[in-house]
Amino acid sequence: MKIVIAPDSFKESLSALEVANEIEAGFKHRLPDAEYLKVPVADGGEGTVQSMVDATNGHLVELEVCGPLGQAVKAHYGILGTEGGTSGIRTAVIEMAAASGLHHVSPAFRNPRLTTSYGTGELIVDAMERGIRHFIIGLGGSATNDGGAGMAKALGAKLLDSAGLEISPGGAALAALATLDCSQLHPALAECHFEVACDVDNPLCGERGASAVFGPQKGATEEMVAELDAALGHFADILAQSGFEDKRLQSGAGAAGGMGLGVMAFLDAELRPGIDIVMQAVGLDAKLEGAALVITGEGRIDGQTIYGKTPMGVLRLAKARNIPVIGIAGCLGAGSELVLEQGMSAIFDIIPSACDLPKALAEARANLQRTSSNIAALLALQLNNAN
């Protein structure tokens, strides 16, 4: 019997590979003769790089780049190995948050008028100069509201004011942009293909735009939101005047402080649901061939899980092959029954008794293995009765 184990990470506790390892260990206690295939996956958010590197036997590249406020920060990206579905093409996986994330700025200094996505551009340049031509970029968790302007500068674009001088970093400075010069963009860009994991549908500006929806969590006051929204609108005007297709209203343009618009303009990127990009890159569908059961999971299964989270992507592929799916979560939240309504066979949480969060996180490994063993015991009993 072939069992495919394809979980996401349990945030702040276990990586997706560690989750898969514990599930496998628990199942082997009761079903030692089964064939197990572990495929760590993610939905494009935090942990995607590590999951994809683990799933394909790839490796991480660590370097120092420009942080959101111009400070040097340590960041990393992944280069996938040969076990995925990319047909031998060398692929880099980058999480925008690694270089330009909110965690790089302490709460007292968060100010999206000033923060820049320059460091994300530096990660892309480093990968291109290593010969990478296929990129997967995860948006989210950013400290920025600059529309990807900082990234564009790192790639060689010149953003000039009316005096012909480079504008300052940050979202507010976009209001001074007069001329966009892309004649010195990195030459390798023309050879690259970019897929961008984007799971929000916000346009660039307006009530549902980047500044209004995401700005406050990055430190924007009500006055800043209005200023930043107008600056992004002006940035879109200059892009359009410079020959770029006007995509400010496109779904996802407002993702990550307008980075959605920036990657579409400067990288000619395709925005897609994160889980779809990840599953394709790791070749999950092909790995389901011949499986009798699929185990998936994430740290919390609740009503939000059905909206593009990892367990639902895995379920979709498995249902197409008529393979039953079991979900295992750190905890179950309100609306978790919706996952069952979508066709998952069963869901389990791993917490054995009431406890606080630090205890739950600390004991996740042991709880996960024990729960997996108990699930496998039920399956073994069913198999024995069938025989």
Q: How far apart are CA 151 and CA 141, in angstroms?
A: 16
Q: Which residue has the higher pLDDT, 14 or 382?
A: 14
Structure tokens belonging to residue 88: 């031998």
Contact 176, 165 (CB under 8 A): no
Lowest average pLDDT, out of 46-50, 79-83, 263-267, goes to: 79-83
> Is pLDDT above 60 for 86?
no
Confidence bin at 53 (pLDDT 50/70/90): very high
Read off the pLDDT of residues 107-145 as tens digits, 9 standing for 90 and up: 999 999 999 999 999 999 999 999 999 999 999 889 999
d(CA 14, CA 299): 9
Task: Spell out the residues 6+ positions from residue 280 whose beta carbon is closer than 8 angstroms to its own.
Answer: 85
CB-side neighbour CA atoms (13 Å) of 114 = 9
Inter-residue contact 45 to 84 (CB < 8 Å): no
| Cα four-point dihedral sign 60, 61, 64, 67 | negative
Determine the pLDDT at residue 155.
Answer: 98
When the pLDDT of each residue in the chain is averaged and rounded to a whole number, the result is 94
All domains of the chain in start order, with CATH: 2-39+284-386 (3.40.50.10350), 48-275 (3.90.1510.10)
Q: Strand, helix or coil at 204?
A: coil
Element (H, E) at 337: helix 337-341
Q: Quickly count helices (H) and strands (E) in the chain.
A: 14, 13
How far is the C-alpha of 282 from the C-alpha of 39, rounded, in Å? 8
pLDDT tens-place string over residues 181-197: 999 999 999 999 999 99
Order of strands, sheet of 72-79, starting from the edge strand that comes earlier in the sequence: 59-66, 72-79, 91-95, 134-138, 193-197, 270-272
- Higher-confidence residue of 381 and 136: namely 136
If one counts every other C-beta atom within 10 angstroms of the C-beta of residue 209, the result is 23
What is the predicted pLDDT for the residue at 199? Answer: 86
pTM surpassing 0.85?
yes
pLDDT band at 87 (very low <50, low <70, confident <90, very high): low
Cα→Cα distances 274→139, 176, 182, Å: 9, 34, 29
- Checking if the pLDDT of 85 tops 60, the result is no
